[in-house]
Structure 1
Amino acid sequence: MLRWLLPVALVAFALDQGSKWYVFRQLRLEDLGKIDVLPPFLVFYPGINTGVNFGLFADGHDAMRWVLIALALGICVALAIWARSFERPAEFVSAGLIMGGALGNVVDRLYLPGVLDFLNMSCCGLNNPYLFNVADIFIFAGAIGLILFQGRKNEA
């Protein structure tokens, strides 16, 4: 079952990096400043997050960038070790999503001062001021998956 972990992580990583390349390079989001995809539900804005979710710990110090890189890599190693105890494909997929998303954000931090964000979703009169990226979606989905599926025995 461990064979699920690496392919899922690689696909998540590739989709994250590919989406950033396409939106920022091909669509030239920074030059445009905004792309209305399905307004107001989905709008692209250029952004760079030097902290973690919602800009937490974005103090502008370069040391924080390296701390966040080390933390993400440490989480990936811990997940890989923990995955050895998994029994269900859903657990491996969930861990792979987290690892691929985390590594996608690590690559951004290695080459930029922070993580490229561009997705903004608002709804029903509520204006969401925060941006996120595809890696964040995978990390969130993977975490929910581990909560839902971890610990359940394989029923096969």
Structure 2
Amino acid sequence: MAKSKKTFSSKPAGGSMAPWLGIAAIIILVDQLTKITIEKLFTYGEELYVTSFFNLVLAYNKGAAFSFLSNQGGWQRYFFTTIGIGAALFIVYLLRKHAAQKLFCWSMSLILGGAVGNVIDRMVHGHVIDFLDFHWRGIGHFPAFNVADTAICIGAGLLILDELRRVNK
């Protein structure tokens, strides 16, 4: 009885990863271009009133979401960079494995682009550059964020939607 030989293909199951990596690359490009622009036009802490609920502001975040751990001694830069790189590698693996699942891959591509955009900031600047500042009637400001953060949030929402659709089938 002959044993069957397993072969490992470098081709992803069910589709190409190229479109998904392309989406992530576009997110990274837009994220980095907007951050470069804001840094060229603003000084740290400078605000530009745009509407009654939105300002542009140059802010730096040494921590994670909502400045979590931002007041630590600097170790968090390497911690969050490592988490971002690990997440990016895992997402590439998931994109390769599930390349034919469109909504899932859209969500993963947005999260990947956002994660890499923020990792670039941490590696180059030691902090993440934020500039989108929403507020409501003088009550308070939502923490400033950026294009990468927006992509991550939209990606997370699409991931939840994808999972709800999968559960309902």
Which residue in 2 is equivalent to 1:126?
139
Q: Which residue of 2 aligns with 1:54?
A: 66
How many Å apart are 1:3 and its aligned residue? 2.8
Match of 1:119, SS state, is strand
Q: Is the 8 A contact 2:44 2:59 kept in 1?
A: no
1:135 maps to: 148
User: Any idea what SS the aligned residue of 1:130 has?
Assistant: coil
Does the 8 A contact of 2:45 with 2:59 survive in 1?
A: no
- 1:124 Cα deviation from its structure 2 partner: 4.6
Question: Quick one: percent identity of the two aligned structures?
Answer: 27
80, 83, 86: which one aligns with 1:74:
86
Contact 2:110 / 2:155 at 8 angstroms: preserved in 1?
A: yes
Offset of residue 13 of structure 1: 0.4
- Paired residue total: 150
Q: Is the 8 A contact 1:36 1:42 kept in 2?
A: yes
Match of 1:110 among 111, 123, 126: 123
- The CA distance in 2 between the partners of 1:24 and 1:127, in whole Å, is 24
Kindly state the Cα deviation for residue 87 of structure 1 after the two structures are TM-superposed: 3.5
TM-score normalised by length of structure 2: 0.80
AA partner of residue 70 (structure 1): T
Instruction: Go from structure 1 to structure 2 and tell me whether the alpha carbon gap of 1:109 and 1:69 turns closer, same or farther (over 3 Å shift).
Output: same
1:91, 1:145 within 8 Å by CA — same for their partners in 2? yes
Segments ≥4 residues shifted beyond 6 Å: none
What's the TM-score once normalised by structure 1's chain length?
Answer: 0.87
Q: Which residue of 2 aligns with 1:30?
A: 43
One-letter amino acid of the structure 2 residue matched with residue 51 of structure 1: G
Q: Which residue pairs with 2:10 in the alignment?
A: none
Find the counterpart in structure 2 of residue 65 from structure 1: 77
Is the contact made by 2:38 and 2:58 (CA closer than 8 Å) also made in structure 1?
Answer: no
Letter in structure 1 aligned against 2:66: F
2:37 paired with 1:13:
no
For structure 1, which runs of at least 5 residues remain unmatched after alignment? none
Cα displacement (A) at 1:65: 0.4
Shift of the 42–92 alpha-carbon distance from structure 1 to 2, 3 Å rule, reads: same
Shift of 1:97: 0.7
Residue 118 of structure 1 contacts residue 132 of structure 1 at CA under 8 Å; is this kept in 2?
A: yes
The answer on 1:100 being equivalent to 2:113 is: yes
Q: Evaluate the alpha carbon distance shift between residue 36 and residue 125 of structure 1 in structure 2; reply closer, same or farther with a 3 A threshold.
A: closer
SS in 2 for 1:66: helix
Query: Which of 43, 56, 79 pairs up with 1:44?
Result: 56
Q: Which runs of 5+ in 2 are unaligned?
A: 1-14
